[in-house]
Structure 1
Amino acid sequence: MLFFDALSALFSVDIGYFVDIVLGNIFWAFAFYATIHMLVGGKDVPFHFVIFAGYAWIFLDFNSITGISLHGAFGFFLWIVLRVSLASFSKGVPFLERNFTAIWGALSYAILIFMTFFWG
């Protein structure tokens, strides 16, 4: 339960917990930070880094609790890439701009079902 451990460390002001995670995974932390920098265009990167990292931890805990899985990093990468590409594609289409949330919700569930039952 990575997210709940991090939440507990946050409430108990255990900075060492987060320092240990970052220094133990320095390459992945930097690569994730660089990916977030590219996704948000360099605007307010530390804020988005914390939001996306928290989201990734929540997502991993959800997978371990329910058994529904997007198979780790590949599934999360697939989800993020499809989200960004759909968001950029829908910019010029009025129907997609109006209904983006509903379309993305349906597509997210379709990806989840596909990865759970048909992928490996």
Structure 2
Amino acid sequence: MAKYLILIYGDERRWDAETEPERAAKGAAHEAFRRAAGEGLLGGHELEPASTATTLRSATGTAPTPTDGPFLETKEALGGYYVVEAPDLDAVLALAARLPELASGHGGVEVRPIVEHG
């Protein structure tokens, strides 16, 4: 079985504007996702807003310098992630398709295989 990182993106302003019933429905959908993943779910978390991020960058041969916020200005921010184990890419894509952010009109989900070193 391979491991995959599922990255969840969306517009933070729209997430902040969600009503309590919308948040409850999204929470229920994430719970259904976790149940569907079963023992293949290895971890995951919702992230604090991008404004709380600190980015490290350096030029060759210089010490890293921290800066506030994400490195790139984008409309969509990384809002959370899951790490799952699945038999193949098709299986993880079918699982990721259950995430409620895909139906929000402003979100996206990226699935990336994890490189495992022996």
User: Quick check: which one's strand share is greater?
Assistant: 2
TM-score (norm 2): 0.31
User: Quick check: which one's helix share is greater?
Assistant: 1
TM-score (norm 1): 0.31
